[in-house]
Amino acid sequence: MACNSSTCNSSGCYKGYEEEEQPKPNTKAAVNGGNSCQNLCVKCKVNEPVCCGIGGENSRFCKDCFKNNLYGKFKQAVTYNAMITPPDKVLVAFSGGPSSRVVLQFVHEMQYKAQKNYDANKDKSLPVFGVGVAFIDESSTHSFTSLHIEKAIEDIRLIVSNLAPPSKELFVVPIESIFSSDGIDGKERLKELLDAVSDVTGKEDLLIRLRILLLQKIASENGYTRIVLGTCTSRIACHVISATVKGQGYSLSADIQYVDSRWEIPVVLPLRDCPAQELNTLCSLDGSLKIVELLNGPCSGINGLVSSFVKVLQEENPSRECTIVRTAGKLTPFHFNRVPEIHDSNVPSATRRHQKRYTLKPNGSLSSDSFCPICSSPLKKSNFPSSLRSHGNQQNPDLIASACSSCQFQILPKDPSLMEEFLSVLPQQMITKAKHGDQGDFSLLREQIQEFLLSDGENEI
């Protein structure tokens, strides 16, 4: 986990972000000879090692240094990509697993330090960002007993309540509530939708999209400006291979970046550089990081095969997942793979300077005017039929024409006579996206003409 390059952004050492947390080395222990040093943490030279990095054969790090190294990766991702700024309200998606538990803990520690700095600062120019937690109850799609899910929710409430001060609001929302705006029985509608998808992989991918839509709904209704996911290196490595197999190569780079602003509420991945093995190790070492076990069952279809394949690769070479992600990271990102700049005059100038300092300006980024209404993947213009505009005013848009090839093959019904029934059980958000899919995302256009727009404080002439 050591690094010799100042620009390294892999799973190695994040020295600059953890030095302030490190205890001073014990000089007496350091000079007692090579044998004693071998029994000490290679980082602090004080404590006994209890764990190692993903590439190490022997235990090399003590618990505190191991946690500080992981926190350094998290903090660098957050800072370098301007994921969280002082005026933000952050919604952390919590599933109960090690990845979401670690990201929730790190966001809390970051908020706690910001609160301490705010209390000690007389200027009070930078406010402290707010944090909320969202748990999506998917018991209606799995064979959970009511007692099991009630116990899990009670444990989650206890975990969130212990992360204070500052206090955090918890949202426990069933996944079928994505249909609540339609005024119907959500469970029955969800069952009909999933039964209409015959492909096992398509059904799993559709559930993932419904989960994202519901998180967007929770964040939008409660004033949150960021959604934080606990997606780690291992999950991204599996997605790189599975997306390639599914024919989603064009849109792959949009899904594996630190920031995804194609949604109304930007989604950020601060654990992108943290492998699952290290997150699991941290949870086992730190007794305060309690996880909630929900037996969702293993993935099947393409997702299950890819997960098993990557697991075998990881056993042969512990750094294989990081290599996959670094290689895929060379793909050109899209224009929405960064946090939108703040142009609101009501936001303090110190906040705008802070964001401008850390916001990336990717050169040569890809642009996309159209998105798949099912999975929201960006569509290549050359593959997007010009006749689609004729469907925009129809009550039921032609999803076959506007959907990506992967969704056409795995999710949409093959029989055209079943399309009407399938459309009737889709969430309204997807129907709306299909109707207005040709309008695209105007964030890039606004950025290009920003210098010609009047600010809020200027008078129109």
pLDDT single digits (tens) 405-451: 999 999 999 888 888 899 889 998 888 776 665 444 455 555 556 66
455 domain-assigned: no
pLDDT top residue among 138 and 362: 138
Report the number of secondary-structure helices (H) and strands (E) in the chain.
18, 6
CA atoms of 214 and 175, how far apart (whole Å)? 7
- The pLDDT > 90 percentage for the chain reads 53
CA atoms of 274 and 128, how far apart (whole Å)? 26
Query: What is the DSSP code string of 18-48?
Result: TGGGPPPP-HHHHTS-HHHHHTS-TTTSSSP
Q: What angle do CA 70, 71, 73 make, to 5 degrees?
A: 65
Residue 154 one-letter amino acid: E
CA atoms of 337 and 257, how far apart (whole Å)? 6
Contacts of 390 (CB under 8 A, 6+ apart): none
92 domain-assigned: yes
Q: Are residues 104 and 211 in the same domain?
A: yes
Summarised one tens digit per residue, pLDDT across range 254-272 is: 999 999 999 999 999 999 9
Q: Are residues 264 and 327 in the same domain?
A: yes
CA atoms of 321 and 67, how far apart (whole Å)? 20
Q: Are residues 313 and 412 in the same domain?
A: no
Structure confidence at residue 355 (pLDDT): 60
Q: Are residues 296 and 381 in the same domain?
A: no
Structure confidence at residue 300 (pLDDT): 80
Summarised one tens digit per residue, pLDDT across range 114-130 is: 999 998 888 877 789 99
Q: Are residues 178 and 266 in the same domain?
A: yes
Mean pLDDT computed over 145-170: 92
Mean pLDDT computed over 233-238: 97
Q: Are residues 303 and 379 in the same domain?
A: no
5 domain-assigned: no
Backbone angles phi, psi at 325, to 5 degrees: -70, -40
Q: How many domains does the chain have?
A: 2
Confidence of residue 393 (pLDDT cuts 50, 70, 90): very low
Confidence of residue 16 (pLDDT cuts 50, 70, 90): low
408 domain-assigned: yes
Structure confidence at residue 30 (pLDDT): 45
216 domain-assigned: yes
Q: Are residues 334 and 421 in the same domain?
A: no
Q: Are residues 294 and 399 in the same domain?
A: no
Q: How many angstroms separate the first and last alpha carbons of the chain? A: 59
CA atoms of 49 and 51, how far apart (whole Å)? 6
401 lies in which domain range? Answer: 368-385+393-439
- The pLDDT > 70 percentage for the chain reads 73
CA atoms of 35 and 20, how far apart (whole Å)? 28
Q: Are residues 318 and 397 in the same domain?
A: no
Q: Are residues 300 and 406 in the same domain?
A: no
Q: Are residues 154 and 221 in the same domain?
A: yes
Is the Cβ–Cβ distance between 361 and 283 less than 8 Å?
Answer: no
Place of tokens 């569509």: 379
13 domain-assigned: no
